[in-house]
């Protein structure tokens, strides 16, 4: 087994992508535009995920799992409409979605995914 670890977009606190043991781990992605609508925030986050997965040499058809945080459970349906359109049919990962206060004001969506390399 390859024991190499590749880190992308690394700073003192964290890496946005870690590739190890044939698995691609993404840090939680939050929207750039604060106080945007839930569909806008969700689209921004999913676009960021697409870009990071591409840098790691995979795409969303390789997703294994997703962890989703919404600042309010009221946003669940709005989030899911965007998510359902983004996930390729037949390639849905396992998923957890919870309500949680997020660390930046005006950010209501955060998503972290893991994919098979």
Strand, coil or helix: what is 36? Answer: coil
Dist. CA 104–CA 17, nearest whole Å: 21
Q: What is the pTM of this model?
A: 0.95
62-100 residue pLDDT tens = 999 999 999 999 999 999 999 999 999 999 999 999 999
Residue in 110, 113, 98, 86 with CA at minimum distance from that of residue 34:
110
What is the gyration radius of the CA atoms in the chain, in angstroms?
14
Strand, coil or helix: what is 41? Answer: helix
Residue 1 lies in a domain: no
Dist. CA 111–CA 66, nearest whole Å: 7
Residue 19 lies in a domain: no
Residue 9 lies in a domain: no
User: Is the CB of residue 24 less than 8 Å from the CB of residue 58?
Assistant: yes
Residue 48 lies in a domain: yes
pLDDT of residue 107: 97
Residue 23 lies in a domain: no
Residue 116 lies in a domain: no
- Residue span of the structural domain in which 67 resides: 29-111
CATH code: domain of residue 49:
3.30.1330.40
Does pLDDT of 1 surpass 70?
Answer: no
Give the chain's domain count.
1
Residue 24 lies in a domain: no
6-55 residue pLDDT tens = 999 999 999 999 999 999 999 999 999 999 999 999 999 999 999 999 99
């Amino acid at each position: 087994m390859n024991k190499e670890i590749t880190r992308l977009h690394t700073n003192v606190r964290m890496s946005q992508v870690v590739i190890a043991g044939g698995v691609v781990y993404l840090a939680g992605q939050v929207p750039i535009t604060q106080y945007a609508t839930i569909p806008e925030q969700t689209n921004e986050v999913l676009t960021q995920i697409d870009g990071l997965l591409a840098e790691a040499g995979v795409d969303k058809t390789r997703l294994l799992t997703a962890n989703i945080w919404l600042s309010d459970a009221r946003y669940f349906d709005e989030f899911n409409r965007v998510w359902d359109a983004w996930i390729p049919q037949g390639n849905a990962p396992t998923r957890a979605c919870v309500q949680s206060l997020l660390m930046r004001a005006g950010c209501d969506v955060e998503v972290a995914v893991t994919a098979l390399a």
